[in-house]
A = this chain, B = another copy of it.
Amino acid sequence: MGKREDKIHQTRSRLLSIADRMIAEHGYEEVSVDQIVAACGIAKGTFYNYYESKAALITALSQQHFRQVTDITDTYASKAPVEAMGQYLTEYMQVIKDAGIGLARQWVRYISSAAGNTGKWDQDVSNITSLLEKLIASGSLKKATPVQELAELSMTQLYGAVLTWTILGENFQPVKNIQHVCRDFLPSVLEPYVVAPPYVKAFKSHSCS
């Protein structure tokens, strides 16, 4: 019947989602195993059947969350550069915000502490690079676009917004911040590399000759 398997899966799910919510809300250090198992309605020992330590849980949670933003750049490649970049970055930040400030703080601690957690950054930069290259391939960005530099600029800006969020908490709206940045400054930044659509081209070519 699979009754048992069902129950196991259910317990695992509940554990993950409840712990996720609690840690996102209150932060890793503030949430105890006691609180988690109480909220889950399971025994303390059961927790350790699923995760060998409290630290193992947060690792699993982080991996679950930040795997979401991968290979979704295709969706944006057909749009205009400013929109594509803006929407990608906004969506990315939305995922992080949804994970909760607690997890974000945990994530910052995790990746900034010590050695060799460069994978996440590399992949993030690589994703934007890939998006920019698709925009070049589709003809909306010039071939001379400094892809790597722009990708790194975007990511440091985004990481900076995350860090700022973990500092300011409710006094900082990470998604809105990214939206405003993309609206107000991204056009200027991308402008030199954008292949202007016909009418703009015409206007531009006339404005200065």
| Chain A positions near chain B (C-beta within 8 angstroms) | 27, 29-30, 105, 108-109, 111-118, 120-121, 146, 149, 152-153, 155-164, 166-169, 171, 177, 180-181, 184-185, 188-189, 191-192, 205, 208-209
How far is it, in angstroms, between the C-alpha of A163 and the C-alpha of B149 when the chains are bound? 17
Contact call B185/A118, Cβ cutoff below 8 A: no
Interface of A is mostly: helix
How far is it, in angstroms, between the C-alpha of A149 and the C-alpha of B180 when the chains are bound? 8
How far is it, in angstroms, between the C-alpha of A186 and the C-alpha of B160 when the chains are bound? 16
A130 to chain B, nearest CB (A): 19
Contact call B120/A113, Cβ cutoff below 8 A: no
Contacts of A117 in B (CB 8 A): 167
Can you give 19 A-B contacts (C-beta < 8 A)? A29-B29, A30-B114, A105-B113, A105-B114, A108-B109, A109-B113, A112-B167, A113-B166, A116-B169, A149-B184, A152-B164, A153-B157, A156-B160, A156-B181, A159-B160, A189-B189, A208-B208, A208-B209, A209-B209
How far is it, in angstroms, between the C-alpha of A159 and the C-alpha of B108 when the chains are bound? 12
Contact call B164/A177, Cβ cutoff below 8 A: no
Contacts of A158 in B (CB 8 A): 160
